[in-house]
A and B are shown apart, each in its own frame.
Chain A
Amino acid sequence: MPSLRELQSDFLEAILGADALAAPAAPRRAQERLAREIVADTVGLAERLAIYAHNAEHHYLASLRKSFPVIRRLVGEEYFTQCAREFRRGHPSRSGDLHHVGAPFPAYWKNKHGDDAYRYLADIARLEWLYQETSTAAEHGPFDLAKLARVPPAAYETLRFCLHPTARLFASEFPALAIWEENLRSDQEPAIIDLRAGGVRVLLVRRVEGIALRPLSAGEFAFLERIGKSDDFEAAVAAAAEADPEFNATQALEKFVREQVIVDLVQPLDGGLCAC
């Protein structure tokens, strides 16, 4: 009699194996072994296992559909389903919580359409995933200004600031934000958007009233991007100045603290990493 481990391995292989990229003979052999361990029925084993296989695919695809409604609308239900199935073969679920399976989906689109007329799709998928991350990240209170006041001015350059946990940065060479907004609502025909209309840099951050999408200048984007990577203040300012010679670091810092985009600081002696 096989062990519980062996039974489970064959059962799972028989259900998921047909969807995997590797060895197509493996699920057949697993099903043959499993057939000796399952009580016979007038309904064949393959048909009964297909119920579980269908459920597995249904739940996985439902999670992708929920996370990427605009991609789904842009490419149509049939092509979305075809691509989602292909994506699943390369990215099988590794968790009992399906909310994270879509994380590599933007890279899938970049790989699939990165060199053709549809390469904007990867950017739309990335925006949708960032939106989901912003929607579900942790809360954080406003900046404790007394903490900043305690820092001696000579130490400013080595300070590391922390972004709000919900803050995400998005940039695209395409008018991706306009495309996304135009296709979010499924009850109206979207307007035609010229892909050559110019790129976009956006900050996504969650507020009490919902997700805010704020346009950023090149300098602001570079500044926040470096802060988000835990670079120190001096490096962030240098990157911003390189992107935009007119960038004013003091004004930017004041603005993003006031708007609760920058919400904390750490000093090198603290380890230099944001807790959030």
Chain B
Amino acid sequence: MGAQVCPPPGARDRARTQAPNPAPNIPAAAGIGLRSPHLDEVLCTRPAVAWFEVHSENYFAAGGAHLAQLERIAERHPLSLHGVGLSLGSTDPLDGRHLERLRRAVTRFEPALVSEHLAWSSVGGRHVNDLLPLPYTEEALRHVSRRIEAVQDALGRQVLIENVSSYVEFCASRIREWEFLAGVVAESGCGLLIDLNNIYVSSRNLGFDPDIYLAGIPPSAVQELHLAGHTAVPTHGRELLIDTHGAPVADAVWDLYARALARFGTLPTLIEWDTDLPPLATLIAEAAKADVFLGAAHAQLA
């Protein structure tokens, strides 16, 4: 186990005084990650999907048909903006232009939830446009917490931070990832978006127990769950799991999801699918499966 992370003085006050989110809450039901090839179909067929989440950067434009389409969808469905490019953990200065575009998108769509990743993707002005892992050190904890605070101040609202899939682990990491997330919550007042596929992928790649991970997450901070598919690649006598977002949710991840619901209670749960995007009906079927888990958890918790 790594070092215990204690919140600094005043952290709890910050968490308490964080501005409440203005839009209606997202229900504790399954939603779908909405990608542009499905916009027309969603508008035309009005599927009974509880809520949608989109990548924030896809709606940074000043105008255009996609923005208008999403505005119409947001009139009927709760919406979540999920960023992939803010590079929260980077040691470069926070990208003010990116943050301003995010602020404009938040103002335009009034999403119920806004989220980003516990990751970095740039240094020296060069961007990887992928979610790179942080070393879990006190230095990184202070750094990323200050950045999250700056983002929350700029947006005037709380953001959720999501755990990412990892393929490497830094020797310098004295803190376990779940403890790091709890520390970030305590220091910045952010909420958490827990991706169960990412926990599973990292647990298999790096060799930790996903249930210990779940047990280390403060339940009151968790406001959203993610489910997605991964790919197993046999190599060097074992399997390396790659977070592809291009397959159905694996059985082991569904099982972990059930245990997460037992620990955190029923929560808005997103089906994410990005590569080899299937028909909308496939995503709706995956969401229906998540709703069955949510129903069972609700019955058990009642």
Question: Which residues from chain A sit less than 8 Å from chain B, CB to CB?
Answer: 1-5, 7-9, 11-12, 15-16, 36-39, 42-45, 47-49, 51-52, 55-56, 59-60, 92-99, 135-139, 165-166, 206, 210
Query: Is B127 an interface residue when CB atoms closer than 8 A count as contact?
Result: yes
Once bound together, how far apart are the Cα atoms of A11 and B140, in whole Å? 15
Residue of B nearest to A12 (CB): B123
What are 22 contact pairs spanning A and B, CB under 8 A? A4-B143, A7-B172, A8-B123, A9-B124, A11-B123, A12-B124, A12-B128, A37-B135, A39-B168, A39-B169, A42-B236, A43-B236, A49-B167, A93-B127, A96-B85, A96-B121, A96-B127, A96-B129, A99-B58, A135-B61, A137-B64, A138-B63
Q: Which residues from B are CB-within-8-Å of A44?
A: 236
Q: How far is the CA of A184 from the CA of B98 in the complex (A)?
A: 31
CB distance from B175 to the nearest CB of A (A): 13
**Contact between chains at B168 and A38 (CB < 8 Å):** yes
Contact with A along B241-265 (1 / 0, CB 8 A): 0100000000000000000000000
A139 to chain B: which residues have CB within 8 Å?
63
Interface residue range, chain B: 35 or more
B16 within 8 A of A: no
> Known contacts being A59-B129, A59-B130, A96-B85, is A136 close to B168, with CB within 8 Å?
no
Closest 4 CB pairs of A and B: A96-B85, A136-B61, A138-B62, A93-B127
Q: Which residues between 184 and 229 of chain B lie within 8 Å of chain A, taking CB atoms?
A: 206
The smallest C-beta distance from B293 to any residue of chain A, in angstroms, reads 29
Residues of A within 8 A of B151 (CB): none
Please report the C-alpha to C-alpha distance between residue A227 and residue B302 in the assembled complex, in whole angstroms: 68
B98 touches A97 (CB 8 A): yes
B139 within 8 Å of A by Cβ?
yes
B132 within 8 A of A: yes
A267 nearest CB across to chain B (Å):
25
Residues of B within 8 A of A2 (CB): 172
What is the CA–CA distance of A138 and B86 in the complex, to the nearest angstrom?
Answer: 23
Partner of B57 from the list A12, A43, A47, A96 (CB cut-off 8 Å) is: A96
B128 and A16 contact, CB distance less than 8 A? yes
| Set of chain B residues within 8 Å of A36, measured between Cβ atoms | 171
As a 0/1 sequence over residues 48 to 76 of chain B, the CB contacts with chain A under 8 angstroms (1 = contact) are: 00000000011011111100000000000
- In the complex, the chain A residue whose C-beta lies closest to that of B139 is A4
Indicate which residue in B63, B86, B101, B132 contacts A52 across the interface (CB closer than 8 Å). Answer: B132
CB proximity of B139 to chain A, nearest CB, Å: 5
User: Taking CB as reference atom, which chain A residue is nearest B86?
Assistant: A96
Q: 12 other contacts beyond A135-B64, A166-B63, with CB at 8 A cut-off?
A: A9-B124, A15-B128, A37-B171, A38-B171, A39-B168, A39-B170, A48-B168, A55-B130, A59-B129, A95-B98, A99-B60, A165-B62
Minimum C-beta distance from A1 to chain B (A): 6
